[in-house]
Structure formats: structure tokens, C-alpha cells
Structure 1
Amino acid sequence: MGVFGGVSGALFVKINAALTTHRQRFISSKPAKVLEVALISFLTTSVGFVLIWLIDDCSPIAYTTSPNPLKLMCADNEFNSLSSLLFTTPERSLRTLFHDPPSSFKVSSLIIFFMIYYFIACITYGLAVPAGLFIPSLLIGASWGRVVGSWMNSSYPSQFPDPGKFALIGAAAQLGGIVRMTLSLTVILMEATGNVIVGLPLLMTLIVAKYTGDYLSETIIEKLTDEDLDLFIDFRPYMCEAPYSVPELRGMITRKDLCRFRFEAYGDAFRVEELAFSRKITKPVAS
């Protein structure tokens, strides 16, 4: 599971970096960003509703721990497990994947949800809206981890009675494969679950996911920093005499180029004339 988390995390990083490059080149104005958010919101909602309409995924309502289960396209005393994952908050979906009994979700529904949510998380991280990676990454991993847990429960029910534990391990593997942290994530997930016993399995999974992901790609922060050369526009006068556009510079500038400059550092207090003199002699300034 750690290896799969590292591979899927590295793929997530590569896809999101490619989308970020596309956004920087072609979606730069405010109206375009608003239109992109509206189109993606409409697309994801429409796809989710169509899948719920096409797929019969009704289960007895006794199989869920949710206080308000969704009954879309289902009879009385039944709930739609796929809609309970798609059309609710990510936190509640994560809670149901961790705590619902083994018969709550069909494996096919979990696989469909994993593919849909993986795609949604890839395209939404980087939109002009407040969004993060922590909960979406946990939810992606919990979905495929629950698939593994369901398979193990059906094959060895006495040894693996709770697929929710596999959902937790999968959530850790997916998040570790994207952000590549080990000890801090182990402590965070232990505190979140209130279970010290899962500490060692989580740590082992996160270590494997980290090194697998590091072998395949950079972390998502490093990758997006490489792509986001808007941060380095002020360095253009020092690097080349001819004017270049940002897309052209993106393929030309490396971190090695930036490290060639001799920086002039200042403390908390300095005179304006000192700063003006440093800019005049074309030195980057750091305070």
C-alpha cells in the first residue's frame, strides 16, 4: 500500500504541475479564472449525478453510521452509498470510510469514487479558490484503502474484520506520496484517530510512500515552485539583456542560475539609501 501511495502520489504531482503550467500560460485574467471555476464545478457535479443515476448502489440504511444518509434513487430504508461519498463534505465522507461496517460500500463504487475524486482533486488544486491537499489526499487514499480492506475482509474475515483500518493506512500512503512527510504525518494521524497502536504501521507506510514518490518525482511544493517562475520575474534584468516572456523563461531558468547571484543581506533596520544603492548596482536584495 505504501508503494501504491507513492506511485499515485507522484502521478498526482506530475498531472497537477502540467495543469499549473497550462493555467499560467492561458488562464491568467480574472474573468478566465472565474469561468474556469464555474465550468469545473458544473462538470464535477454533473458527472457525479449522472453516475448515481446510472449505477444502482442502494444498501440497507442500517449499514451506515451517517446521521443523515442520502437516499438518491433508492427506496425507503435504503441509502445510496456512492452519493453519500460524492454529495457530502469530504470530512463526513472520510468518517464513513473509516467507521462504517464492512458491507456499507461495494468495491465497484469505491473504485469509481477513487477515480472520480482523484481527477477532481488534480484539477481543483490550483484553481482560483481556497483549496488544500490534506483532506482530499486522505479521502483519495481512504477510498482505495477501503477497497483493499474489503478484499481482505472477504478473503479472510476472521483475520481482517475491519476494512476501516485499511482505509486509514491508504489515506496515510496517499498523503505521504504527495507531500513526502513521515514523522509529522504519523503524529498527526495518530492524534486524529486517538489510537497509538496504529503508529508503527502508519510510519512504515509513510516511509515506503515517501521514498517511492521521491524516486519518481519531486514533492508537489518543489514541482510547483519550479513551474511558478512568476516569483522570479524580478531577476530578469540580472539574467539576460534581451526581454523574454514568462513561458520562455520557464524553460530557461534553473535554480542553479539563481544561485549564481551574490545576494546583499540586510537586517531588520537599514537605510533607504543602502537599499537604493544595492538595486542600482543590480544585486538581488534579501532582508
Structure 2
Amino acid sequence: MVFSHWRVYALFLDLDNPTANSKSCYARKFITSFPYIVSSSTYVLFSLTAAILVKISADVIATRCASPTAQPDLKVVYFAAGSGIAEVKTILGGFVIRKFLGIQTLIVKIIGSTLAVSSGLNCGKEGPFVHIACCVGNILCRIFSKFNKNEGKRREILSASAAAGVAVAFAAPIGGVLFSLEEVSYYFPIKTMIRSFFSALIAAMTLKLLNPFGNGKIAMFQVSYDRDWHWFEMAGFLLCGLFGGFFGAIFSKLNIRWQHVRKTTWLGRHPVAEVVVIMVITVLVSYWNPFARLDKLPPLKYGEIVGIAKLSLKLHNLDADLQFKNCMNTNDRMGLTEFVMNLFAECTSTNDNEGLCATTISAIYPRLNLLAATLVIKVILIIFTFGLRIPAGIFLPSLAVGAIFGRMVGLGMQYLTMRFPDLELFARCGSEMAAEGECVIPGVYAMVGAAASLAGVTRTTVSLVVIMFELTGALTYLLVR
């Protein structure tokens, strides 16, 4: 059925008139921002749902008092909040935390972490994966009396479960075993290591069969660089390492200080409202920065919408409507994982990695400015986000911060090689610059910076190197990291 009086909002509001009144100008701004508003509202709803689930699953416990006659203080314990790695480490150390590895916590952790990561908050899923795997291992122990009645055997299962969780999160079975040995477990005999490796291997094989990325690969940030690194690049790698340690120290101090301040504020007493406030701030702050935005589409120009609206009005058929829907589509979002993937990637003639590549000296400056602004935004948001009462980890945000700084260092090295090509230091770059147009790969610095930043935050060394190798597949740069 064709409606003779059918009109499009863009034309109804007179958006194609450059001399329109102020009301039309406000309407124009609203229409161009409408896709981001809709998607951001969805992300806020996701984070709100995750916070509500965590609050529902919380429990109230009574703390001990100094005097036997005094009333005990009541404290709310959020079993599904945070990454859960610290609590798992405490349990493996011999303490008992009831309900922390139960069925209810497992269900809330799975749903909540999915919603929290999907919302676009600066949080990761890797820590919750370890908690989820340990919940599964603890529940399975209840089936067999051999493990259910023996706490030592149960902790061996939990150590293997932690290794499997890391193996699934990073697609790194060997790194998962080493992480369980280095970071989580207190008692790790040879037999537990063998069982942990078997568990992590089965987890990685299952991930391979499920094929979550649709390309037959399990490496989250699969990269391949066609050139080796030069010795003069060690200065850039050293700078990335220094930043990783500095960021780890600053993040730990500021986050701990914020945790103390949070307890005395209204937001600290209302965790659900705090999640919504942080999510709204994240959405608003990220809108103007294309590298920090929660979707991949740049802000639409009103002329583009008006042009498509006129075409739709003129043709008045399904094809034009589909073009308009494609223009307004926000499903192609760039989350934290996709952003880190683009930071790691090598620039090619057919792919500029969402605007991260620079082929001329003049193109380096705006990218450095945007990356610097993104770095400041991410660091501030991560400090306030980590500690919210939602299932969230710190691994991926730490990777993102280090990758951003590393990419900036890589662009700086690229600038030096392009600005001073005749220096003796860059003598080996002459043939590569002539053949391929660049001597250094900024993505390499992003990868090294990500590893350094994660090491500074988590204080892990050996397992982190292996995890990064399995995560990216870049064996050439294993020694540098």
C-alpha cells in the first residue's frame, strides 16, 4: 500500500534548509546523533541489568564484634561482582567462602559478565572466566564423594579449573597452566600441573570446535608481521616497558584510594545507581572521540541523512528504505576487543585499521592527538570502573591502555624514520622504505605496550609472556616482551 501523504522526518523537520530556525538546528543535531543515542541507551540497560542481578544474588553476613554483648555489624557481600580471581586465590590458600562457587553465583556471573562486557564499559571478561570455571569445577566436585569430602582434592580441581578458565579467555592453554601456577595456586605439585594442562587443553579444543570468531582460529588477536624488528627499536620497547610499570603503580594507588572514597559517598551505598552513572559518563565522554566511541560509525552528517531521505521519498520502494536502515545501522560496533585488535594489526594498502594508519608525516599528528585523548579517557574511566558491583575484569582494559600508548610510540618511531631517513641509525630502513613505504610497524609497539601494561597491573611475568604469545601468535617478538 502506498501512502500519498508519506513523509520522512528529515524533510518534515526541514533539515535540508541551511537557513532553518534554531528549532530545526536542534532537530538536525538530534537526528544525526539518534543512532548513537539508541545504541547507548541499550548499553545502559545492559549495565543496569548486570548490576541488578549482582545485587539480587548478594548476601548479608554478620561481622565479628570486639564485645560479645555488642550487636554484630551487617555487611553485604556481592559474590558475583568483580573478577573473582582474588577470592579464588584466597580459597586455594585454605579459606572457605561459602556460596562464592555455588550454582546461583555461576548463573549470575555468566549472564552478568555477558551484559557488562556488551555494554561497552571498560571491563574485561577474562577474570570472570576464571571464576566461572572454578564454579563449574566446584559444582562437579559435589557429584563425586572423593572430591566432595576431601578439601585437598577439591583445591586440585579448582587449580585445574582456573587454568581452563584462562585457556578459554585468552585461547592460551599453556599460559593458563602457568597462570594458575604463578598467580592463583599456593600448592601446585606435578600431578596437579599435568591435570591442569589436560583441563586447559580440553577447554581450548572445545573452543576450537565451537569456533566463536567464525574463522576457525582461537587466537583473539591473531597478528602476522612481514618484517623483523631493528635494534634501534629497542628504545621504543624500553619506553613501553617503563610505561607499563608506571601505569600499574599509578592505577593501583588511585584505584585503592577511590575504593576508600567510594565507601563514604552516596554512590558507594547505591551500587546499581553507581553503575548507571559510570555508564552514562562513559557514553557521553566517548562520543566525540572516534577511537573511544562504543560504535564503529562516525557521527552522521545531516546532509547524508537528508540525501538518503530524499532518495527514499523519491523512489518510495524497499531498496531506498533498506539504504536508510543501513545508514542508521549501529550493529557494527567497535568494542574494546575490536579496538585492541586494530591497534595490534599491521597497516596494509587495503586496510587502515579504522583510521589508525598514517602514510605521511602530516597524517601522524592528528592520530597522535586522538590516541593521547583516548589514553587519558581510558585511564580515568578504568580507575572508576574497576570496583563496580558488576562481573568485570581488568585484563582487557589493561591491554587496551598499554596498546594505545604503544601505538603512540610506534607512530613516533615512524615519524622519526620518515623525518630523518638519512641518519646512520636508520640506515637499514632505506631499502624497506623504498619497497614498502615504512620501516617500523606501529602495531608491534602496541603489542609490546599491552604486555607491559598488563604485567604492571597484574604483577605477572612468565605466564604473561606465554599468554601474549598464544594470544597473538607473534613468536618473533616473544623475547622483546
Q: TM-score of the superposition, structure 2-length normalised?
A: 0.35
Q: Distance in 2 between matches of 1:5 and 1:174?
A: 4
Residue 391 (structure 2) pairs with residue 164 (structure 1): no
User: What is the CA distance between 1:173 and its match in structure 2?
Assistant: 1.1
Give the direction of change, closer, same or farther, for the CA distance of 1:42–1:13 in structure 2 (3 Å limit). Answer: same
Matched, 1:90 2:336: yes
| TM-score under structure 1 length normalisation | 0.57
Aligned in 2, Cα 1:69/1:43: closer, same or farther, shift over 3 Å?
closer
Specify the alignment match of 2:400 in structure 1: 139
* 1:9 shift after superposition: 1.2
Query: 1:191 maps to which residue?
Result: 470
Structure 1 residue 27 displacement after superposition: 5.3
- 8 Å CA contact 1:110–1:143 kept in 2: the answer is yes
1:59-104 per-residue CA deviation (whole Å, 9 max, x = no partner) reads xxxxxxxxx942324698xxxxxxx9xx621111110111152863
- 1:23: how far off? 2.4
Report the equivalent of 1:72. 299
Corresponding residue for 1:42?
Answer: 280
Distance 1:26 1:2, change over 3 A: same
SS at match of 2:480: helix
**Partner letter of residue 143 of structure 1?**
I
Alignment correspondent of 1:178? 457
Say if 2:279 is the partner of 1:18: no
Q: What letter is aligned with 1:71?
A: P
Aligned mates of 1:28, 1:150 — CA distance in 2: 40
One-letter identity of the residue aligned with 2:468: L
**CA 1:21–1:48: 2 relative to 1, 3 Å:** same
SS at match of 2:299: coil
Q: Secondary structure at the match of 2:440?
A: coil
* Matched positions, count: 178
1:1-287 → structure 2 map (5 Å cutoff) = 1-26=240-265, 32-49=270-287, 51-52=288-289, 69-73=296-300, 88-101=334-347, 104-105=355-356, 106-156=367-417, 158=429, 160-202=439-481
CA contact (8 A) 1:27 1:33 kept: no
1:284 matched residue in structure 2: none
SS in 2 for 1:200: coil
Offset at residue 26 of structure 1 (A): 3.5
In structure 2, runs of 5+ residues without a counterpart are 1-239, 305-329, 357-366, 419-428, 433-438
| C-alpha contact (below 8 Å) 2:248/2:457 kept by paired residues | yes
Alpha-carbon distance between aligned partners in 1 of 2:444 and 2:339, rounded to the nearest angstrom: 15
Aligned 8 A contact 2:271 2:388 in 1 = yes
Deviating beyond 4 angstroms after TM superposition, the runs of 4 or more aligned structure 1 residues are 27-30, 73-76
The equivalent of 1:266 in structure 2 is: none
> What is the percentage of aligned positions where both structures have the same residue?
32
Distance in 2 separating the partners of 1:29 and 1:112: 28
The structure-2 alpha-carbon separation of the partners of 1:70 and 1:28, relative to structure 1 and needing over 3 Å to count, comes to closer
Query: Do the aligned residues in 1 keep the contact of 2:344 with 2:444 (CA within 8 Å)?
Result: yes
Between the aligned partners of 1:194 and 1:23, the Cα distance in structure 2 is 40
Bigger CA radius of gyration:
2
Partner Cα distance (2:266, 2:400) in 1: 28
Unaligned runs of at least 5 residues, structure 1? 59-67, 77-83, 203-287
